[in-house]
Structure 1
Amino acid sequence: MTTSQTKLPTDTWVVATWDEFIQTVEDPAYRKAKGYYYKGQMRIETMSVGPDHAKDNTIIAVAVPLFAAIKSIRLNGLENCSYRKTGIRECQPDISYYIGERAQLAPTGTAIANLDLIPPPDIAIEISDSTLADDKGEKRLLYEEVKVGEYWIADVQKPEIIAFEIIPTGGSRRISQSQILPGLEMALLEETLRRSRQMPHSQVVAWLLTQFQS
Structure 2
Amino acid sequence: MTSLLTKFQTDTWVTANWEEFQQLISEPEFQKAKFYYHNGQLRIEMVPISNDHSLDHTIVIVAVNLYGMVKEIAMNGRNTCSFRKPGIQECQPDASYYIGENADIVPWGTSVINLETYPPPDLVIEVANTSLADDMGGKRLLYEDLQVKEYWIVDVKNVRIIAFAIADGGSRRITQSQVLTSLEIAVLEEALRRSRQMNQSQVCAWLMAEFQK
TM-score for both structures, normalised by structure 2? 0.96
TM superposition shift of 1:109: 2.2
Match of 1:186 in 2: 185
Map Cα deviations across residues 135-156 of structure 1 (whole Å, 9 max, x no partner): 0001000000111110000000
1:139 aligns with 2:139: yes
Question: SS in structure 2 opposite 1:180?
Answer: coil
Q: Is the 8 A contact 2:5 2:24 kept in 1?
A: no
Q: Which amino acid is the alignment partner of residue 171 of structure 1? A: G
TM superposition shift of 1:110: 5.3
Output the aligned Cα RMSD: 1.3
Match of 1:173 in 2: 172
1:13 aligns with 2:16: no
Q: Is the 8 A contact 1:12 1:43 kept in 2?
A: yes
Match of 1:115 in 2: 115
Q: Is the 8 A contact 2:154 2:162 kept in 1?
A: yes
Match of 2:102 in 1: 102
Question: SS in structure 1 opposite 2:153?
Answer: strand
Q: Which amino acid is the alignment partner of residue 135 of structure 1? A: D
Following the alignment from structure 1 to structure 2, what is the Cα–Cα distance between the partners of residues 68 and 201? 18
Q: Which amino acid is the alignment partner of residue 192 of structure 2? A: L
Q: Structure 1 pair 67/213, CA: closer, same or farther in 2 (3 Å)?
A: same
- Superposed counterparts of 1:27-66, under 5 Å: 27-46=27-46, 48-66=48-66
Following the alignment from structure 2 to structure 1, what is the Cα–Cα distance between the partners of residues 86 and 7? 25
TM superposition shift of 1:175: 0.3
1:87 aligns with 2:87: yes
Q: Structure 1 pair 207/3, CA: closer, same or farther in 2 (3 Å)?
A: farther
Q: Is the 8 A contact 1:107 1:113 kept in 2?
A: no
Question: SS in structure 1 opposite 2:182?
Answer: coil
Map Cα deviations across residues 29-62 of structure 1 (whole Å, 9 max, x no partner): 1000000000000000015321110001101111
Map Cα deviations across residues 86-135 of structure 1 (whole Å, 9 max, x no partner): 00000111000011111011453252111111111000000001000000
Q: Is the 8 A contact 1:80 1:95 kept in 2?
A: yes
Q: Which amino acid is the alignment partner of residue 126 of structure 2? A: E
TM superposition shift of 1:6: 2.6
TM superposition shift of 1:196: 1.2
Following the alignment from structure 2 to structure 1, what is the Cα–Cα distance between the partners of residues 192 and 110? 31
TM-score for both structures, normalised by structure 1? 0.96
Map Cα deviations across residues 16-38 of structure 1 (whole Å, 9 max, x no partner): 00000111111011000000000
Question: SS in structure 2 opposite 1:104?
Answer: coil
TM superposition shift of 1:4: 6.7
Q: Structure 1 pair 62/21, CA: closer, same or farther in 2 (3 Å)?
A: same
TM superposition shift of 1:3: 5.5
Q: Structure 1 pair 177/88, CA: closer, same or farther in 2 (3 Å)?
A: same
Q: Structure 1 pair 91/5, CA: closer, same or farther in 2 (3 Å)?
A: closer
Q: Which runs of 5+ in 2 are unaligned?
A: none
Q: Which amino acid is the alignment partner of residue 98 of structure 1? A: Y
TM superposition shift of 1:8: 2.6
Match of 1:198 in 2: 197
Following the alignment from structure 1 to structure 2, what is the Cα–Cα distance between the partners of residues 48 and 81? 15
